[in-house]
Structure 1
């Protein structure tokens, strides 16, 4: 059976800072939705329970899981306020580039701690959202699964034709040994 590759994000929504509606601090019921923005498939999203503490600096510390389709360039984080009279009101949105947490030198399961400025519907600054993002990657071959190691592998490949081993030592130079 051919290998299939599944990419899933684990987004921990930690907290919000200085959240407002019409320049008034939010008193309660703020919640967050997270969705993948993709041109090739519909957006998949996850949402969380409203903050019950009732202040403009909510603390959630809640994990959300979102599938990240190939071709996704952004993850969209939206903060809303649930109101019995007006329904759900958008507080602010952050468009997070996927390149902020995918690629580079970090291992696949590395947890990135990020903070982003929220923008309201008019494009004005409206608080900050603090999150952590971790790419959860699983590879499937047949019916058995194997998970990626979260420890990066370092080394320099040696003669690949004869030996597939890797050199893991680092040469050390002592200046006292080079004196004549």
Structure 2
């Protein structure tokens, strides 16, 4: 596959998430998205949590967690209740979601097994490579790596407007 790494990463994500979404369609859950499961599974394991705590537990930004939780709420999978702090909202699963937990858990197990099968066909497991990328850019950001290549030195001088 030729092309920019970002394009390749997005394509891989679209392929994998797209097929998981098709499984949910086959299960009669067209409104359920693959990105919902980490949030739902975290609430099952830890109980109702704030959006910030969910973001931390799942390993996404607060903004990404907020967007996913808004989608979950619109689909009727979670409710938001005020927390101890007026700015805090606590995410709770609905009865609808609790009824679906056996299906969600079965899909998660099947997806995990399918990923293990796919990893067996790769020279290096995908999760291992991704974890290594995250660790490397945590040590030194990609921005720093790009900037250290002299890209800023090639910029034309800008004249300050008066």
TM-score normalised to structure 2 length: 0.23
TM-score normalised to structure 1 length: 0.21
Return the structure number with greater helix share: 2
Between the two structures, name the one with larger relative contact order (CA 8 Å, sep ≥ 6).
Answer: 1
Larger Rg: 1
